[in-house]
């Protein structure tokens, strides 16, 4: 690790990873990349940026409430889920995950941040750092170029996502700004063989053939399909 963490903090990061393994077991990014690899990559970037241990742990679980499988067939954030996550990683980490989930991340929201980062509360600056680490991880391995909507995603870089470079600079993270600029540039020019591209655009679940959901989960899915 780039940063020396006390043994207790390393243990907390391991606990976050163990929970991430459970929540993202069968989840994949639109490119086909295992979701667990994505969250580990995000946490790794935060480690390189010398983020505190509870922030690294939050990086491992940043998508817990949007993409995690809690075994009940439901999606989204809830008091029960928050309590479950808090019981594993503690309050400081869980609060960041919840804020990450609630914080809008789109063209309007991102452009509105430009020039305002220095005035944000520390809590929001930390979540912004997590958001930027997530964007870097998404683009670092040319992941978007392998998605079905690769051209749309390149359009997002051109229209507003490039603003992340400026936000990283405003956060006092010049290395992160440079990495983002390089990753965005590489994705705009990447050429991927059509046969290597995935047929999906967003994250999805792909379970083993032997997997069977619980009866309650199956009933909920049936009722959802019936409207």
Please indicate, yes or no, if residue 206 is contained in any of the structural domains. Answer: yes
Cβ neighbours of residue 18 under 8 Å, at least 6 residues apart?
88
Please indicate, yes or no, if residue 143 is contained in any of the structural domains. Answer: yes
Please indicate, yes or no, if residue 185 is contained in any of the structural domains. Answer: yes
Please indicate, yes or no, if residue 157 is contained in any of the structural domains. Answer: yes
Q: Which pLDDT score is estimated for 217?
A: 66
Taking the CA atoms of the chain, what radius of gyration do you get in angstroms? 18
Q: Cα 2 to the chain's mean position, in Å? A: 21
Q: How many domains does the chain fold into?
A: 1
Q: Which pLDDT score is estimated for 191?
A: 87
Is the model's pTM score more than 0.85? yes
Please indicate, yes or no, if residue 210 is contained in any of the structural domains. Answer: yes
- Cα atoms in the Cβ-side hemisphere of radius 13 Å centred on 204: 11
The DSSP result for the chain, as a single string, is --S---HHHHHHHHHHHHHHHHHTTTEE-TTS-BHHHHHHHHHHHHHHTT--HHHHHHHHTTTHHHH---SSS--S--HHHHHHHHHHH-HHHHHHHHHHHHS--SHHHHHHHTTTGGGS-HHHHHHHHHHHHHHHHHHHT-GGGGSTTHHHHHHHIIIIITHHHHHHHHTT-HHHHHHHHHHHHHHHH----GGGS-S-SS-EE---TT----HHHHHHHHHHHH-
Q: Which pLDDT score is estimated for 208?
A: 78
Q: Which domain, by its residues, includes 163?
A: 7-226
Please indicate, yes or no, if residue 140 is contained in any of the structural domains. Answer: yes
What CATH number is associated with residue 41?
Answer: 1.10.3210.10
Query: What SS3 state is found at 28?
Result: strand
Please indicate, yes or no, if residue 2 is contained in any of the structural domains. Answer: no
- Going residue by residue through the chain (227 aa), what tens digit of pLDDT does each one get? 445 889 999 999 999 999 999 999 999 999 999 999 999 999 999 999 999 999 999 999 999 999 999 988 788 999 999 999 999 999 999 999 999 999 999 999 999 999 999 999 999 999 999 999 999 999 999 999 999 999 999 999 999 999 999 999 999 999 999 999 999 999 999 988 888 889 998 998 888 777 766 666 666 666 767 76
- Cα atoms in the Cβ-side hemisphere of radius 13 Å centred on 205: 17
């Amino acid at each position: 690790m780039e940063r020396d963490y006390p043994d207790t903090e390393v243990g907390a990061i391991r606990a976050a990873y163990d929970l991430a393994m459970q929540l993202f077991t069968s989840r994949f990014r639109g490119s086909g990349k295992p979701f667990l690899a994505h969250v580990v990559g995000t946490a790794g970037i935060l480690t390189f940026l010398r983020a505190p241990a509870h922030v690294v742990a939050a990086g491992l679980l940043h998508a817990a409430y949007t993409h995690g499988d809690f075994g009940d067939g439901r999606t989204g954030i809830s008091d029960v889920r928050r309590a479950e996550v808090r019981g594993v990683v503690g309050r400081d980490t869980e609060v960041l995950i919840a804020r990450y989930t609630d914080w809008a991340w789109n063209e309007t929201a991102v452009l509105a941040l430009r020039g305002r980062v220095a005035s944000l509360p520390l809590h929001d600056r930390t979540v912004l750092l997590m958001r930027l680490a997530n964007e870097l991880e998404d683009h670092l391995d040319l992941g978007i170029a392998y998605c079905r909507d690769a051209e749309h995603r390149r359009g997002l870089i051109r229209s507003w996502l490039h603003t992340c470079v400026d936000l990283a600079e405003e956060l006092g993270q010049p290395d992160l700004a440079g990495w983002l600029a390089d990753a965005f540039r590489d994705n705009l020019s990447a050429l991927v063989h059509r046969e290597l591209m995935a047929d999906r655009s967003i994250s999805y679940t792909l379970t083993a053939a032997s997997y069977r959901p619980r009866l309650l989960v199956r009933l909920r899915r049936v009722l959802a399909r019936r409207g």
